[in-house]
């Protein structure tokens, strides 16, 4: 087990999955191997009056570059600051198509941030997402030293999806524990 030094952020390299492995889920692309689990989870949540939306999912290298460089420049962040919460291109879980940024459709203004934790969607996900194969990628105090991201979940519900995250298990074995 490795532990990140204080102030060191560890991002892992990911293959960029081909776009033809993706399918559209409303306006975002997700890996076709997690589509049905995702759909079922969102439908089941709805039956309990929880309205889960998706802010972002699959990103190719150019889209990640936009997030990292363009938005980082816009907010005048140093590289060290942006590394804390954004992966550089080629290092994002979003390249797999299995990482999903959720939102609560009843509270659409609760954006990327710690406040997402207070939404009914987060509370529901925390209790139920594991049953559909979704786990929180970056919990508080994770050993990669990446900022806590309550909105960012990844699908590990089958062998192929799990194989994509193999390297991260050096830092945390994040298989569903429920
Ligand atoms: Zn994300």
- pLDDT, average across residues 69-90: 88
Distance 101 CA to ligand 1 centre (A): 5
Could you tell me if 87 and 72 are in contact, meaning their C-beta atoms sit under 8 angstroms apart? no
Distance 99 CA to ligand 1 centre (A): 6
| CB-based neighbours (< 5 A) of ligand 1, an ion | 101, 152
Asked whether the predicted pLDDT for residue 173 surpasses 90, the reply is no
pTM of the model: 0.92
Distance 57 CA to ligand 1 centre (A): 7
The predicted pLDDT at position 154 comes to: 97
The predicted pLDDT at position 3 comes to: 55
Q: pLDDT tens-digit profile of 15-43?
A: 999 999 999 999 999 999 999 999 999 99
Distance 150 CA to ligand 1 centre (A): 9
Tell me the pLDDT band of 175, cut-offs 50, 70 and 90.
low
Provide the sign of the torsion angle of the four alpha carbons 82, 26, 54, 29, taken in this order. negative
Asked whether the predicted pLDDT for residue 170 surpasses 80, the reply is yes
Asked whether the predicted pLDDT for residue 4 surpasses 90, the reply is no
Q: pLDDT tens-digit profile of 58-67?
A: 999 999 999 8
Could you tell me if 161 and 34 are in contact, meaning their C-beta atoms sit under 8 angstroms apart? yes
- The Cα–Cα gap between 8 and 6 comes to 5
Distance 117 CA to ligand 1 centre (A): 15
The predicted pLDDT at position 112 comes to: 82
What is the CATH T-level fold of the domain 19-170, as seen in this structure? Muramoyl-pentapeptide Carboxypeptidase; domain 2 (3.30.1380)
């Amino acid at each position: 087990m490795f532990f990140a030094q204080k102030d060191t952020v560890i991002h892992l390299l990911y293959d960029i999955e081909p776009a033809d492995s993706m399918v559209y889920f409303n306006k975002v692309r997700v890996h076709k191997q997690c589509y049905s689990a995702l759909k079922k989870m969102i439908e089941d949540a709805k039956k309990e009056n929880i309205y889960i939306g998706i802010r972002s999912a699959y990103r190719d290298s150019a889209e990640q570059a936009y997030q990292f460089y363009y938005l980082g420049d816009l907010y005048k962040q140093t590289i060290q600051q942006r590394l804390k919460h954004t992966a550089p291109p080629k290092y994002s879980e979003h390249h797999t198509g299995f990482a999903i940024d959720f939102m609560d459709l009843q509270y659409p203004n609760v954006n990327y941030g710690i406040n997402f934790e207070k939404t009914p969607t987060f509370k529901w996900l925390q209790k139920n997402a594991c049953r559909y194969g979704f786990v929180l990628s970056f919990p508080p105090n994770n050993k990669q030293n990446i900022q806590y991201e309550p909105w960012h979940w990844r699908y590990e519900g089958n062998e192929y999806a799990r194989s994509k995250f193999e390297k991260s298990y050096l830092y945390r074995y994040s298989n569903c524990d429920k």
